[in-house]
Amino acid sequence: MLDSTGFMPTFRIQGQVYHKAGSLMSLPNEEEKFLQIYFLGNEEAEAKRRCTLIPGTTKSLIESLQKMLHENNHYVQKFKMAIEDNPIEDLQIVIKADRKPIEGHERVFNTPALNEVAIIIAGNDFEKRDIVLTKRSNELKNICETHISYDALQYPLMFPRGEDGYTININQVEPGTSNQINKMVSAMSFYAYRLMVRSTENHLLNYRQLLHQYLVDMYAKIEAERLLFIRLNQKKLRVDEYIHLKDAITNDSDPANHGKLVILPSTFTGCPRNMHEYAQDAITYVRHGGKPSLFITYTFNPNCKKMTQNLTNGQSKTDRHDLVARIFWQKLIKFMNVLVKGQVFGSVKYWLYSIEWQKRGLPHSHILIWLTNTLRPN
């Protein structure tokens, strides 16, 4: 979390995000941490350990939260039961990646239901995407970002009952009829639905800085899913025809040093090929229309009426990135309609814009307008 003196604190990541989990119980002569604290066996000791790890916390609040999780979170309950019922040290607890989601529709998930948590005494009876937790170990286990249980395990306070998150095998259904469609729900669609403002309160939008982390984490998951699709479908994308691949193979360096080449198509937002095509489109306007007639910078006012009207439960403007993005986009579209369709400066031949985010967390847009009749000062 990076604190800034501007609009808001910003949560940022750089590079690939890795998700790991330790063992359920600590090694001898080591203090409990993270998941291990749930299984101390004593509420007082559990609260004391949490307060020690996070100075300044209110003990009564910690006790209330951990009681809620012990009573309602099915992962905490099943892990605890597995430890108590199986005193063996080489115990492994596996959360299956291909299990049926909680309350999954029978017409969508019509395969036999799997146990959500499996107990394995020894061996490797699990798939690559399964979450495998050991009883005692100093080894960290990788967690696949598209595992259905990831959200609940990473954000227990946001999903206190252990609600399911996104997974790659959720089928779409027709609204109203629940008829299955031969398409899968994308991570983007899943989290857009989960974070939508509703007439009934969406509790996820009240988590402030934790919501910021959740948004960034889930978008990293969205990009990871897209990159995986691109990596597995290089032949369908016809990457052999890309000139940059030919350049990489025919240059003076050793091809063995390139590793496995994965070419990002221009449809992947933000990649060099994508930005290059946008730049070429802009240059085409200049080639045909000359220099633009107007250069306009459109900024966002966080104190606008639409913003303040949609804040609830004591929220501040810095708590709702989703509102900032949505309101700015709606206002930008309306502004462009005024410029282009309303012709306030005259008939428009061409136009383009780009959206950027200031360091203080607010968006702005740079707009170029080519007019049919160039404006001239009197």
Q: Where are the beta strands (DSSP E) in the chain?
A: 20-21, 92-95, 117-120, 131-134, 141-142, 171-173, 180-184, 294-299, 348-357, 363-371
Residue type, 108: V
> In whole angstroms, what is the distance from residue 342 CA to residue 340 CA?
6
Classify strands 180-184 and 294-299 as parallel, antiparallel or unpaired: unpaired
pLDDT at 292: 92
> In whole angstroms, what is the distance from residue 99 CA to residue 353 CA?
45
pLDDT, tens only, 92-116: 777 777 666 555 544 344 333 434 5
Q: What is the pTM of this model?
A: 0.79
> In whole angstroms, what is the distance from residue 94 CA to residue 133 CA?
6
Count other Cβ atoms within 10 Å, centred on residue 146.
18
The CA R_g of the chain, rounded to the nearest whole Å, is 26
Got the DSSP string for 76-94?
A: HHHHHHHHHH---TT-EEE
Q: How distant, in Å, are the alpha carbons of 70, 78, 108, 178, 285 from that of 86?
A: 19, 12, 35, 41, 70
Using DSSP, state whether 249 is helix, strand or coil.
Answer: helix
Nearest to 352 by CA among 267, 287, 295, 273: 295
Backbone φ, ψ for residue 244 (5° rounding): -65, -30
pLDDT at 250: 56
> In whole angstroms, what is the distance from residue 8 CA to residue 302 CA?
11
CB-based burial, 184-194: b 16+ in 10 Å, e otherwise: ebbbbebbeee
Classify strands 141-142 and 171-173 as parallel, antiparallel or unpaired: unpaired
pLDDT at 347: 93
pLDDT, tens only, 250-285: 555 555 555 677 788 888 888 888 899 999 999 999
The full length of the chain comes to: 378
> In whole angstroms, what is the distance from residue 315 CA to residue 307 CA?
11
Torsion on CA atoms 203, 205, 206, 208, rounded to nearest 10: 150
- Predicted confidence pLDDT, tens digits, the chain (378 residues): 444 445 555 667 777 777 788 887 888 888 888 888 888 778 888 888 888 888 888 888 988 988 898 889 888 888 888 777 777 777 777 777 766 655 554 434 433 343 455 545 445 556 667 777 777 777 787 888 888 888 988 899 999 998 999 988 888 888 878 787 888 889 999 999 998 888 788 889 888 888 988 998 899 889 888 888 888 888 777 665 665 555 555 555 555 555 677 788 888 888 888 899 999 999 999 999 899 999 999 999 989 999 988 888 788 888 888 889 999 999 999 999 999 999 999 999 999 999 998 766 789 999 999 999 877 766
The residue written with tokens 């502004």 in the block is 335
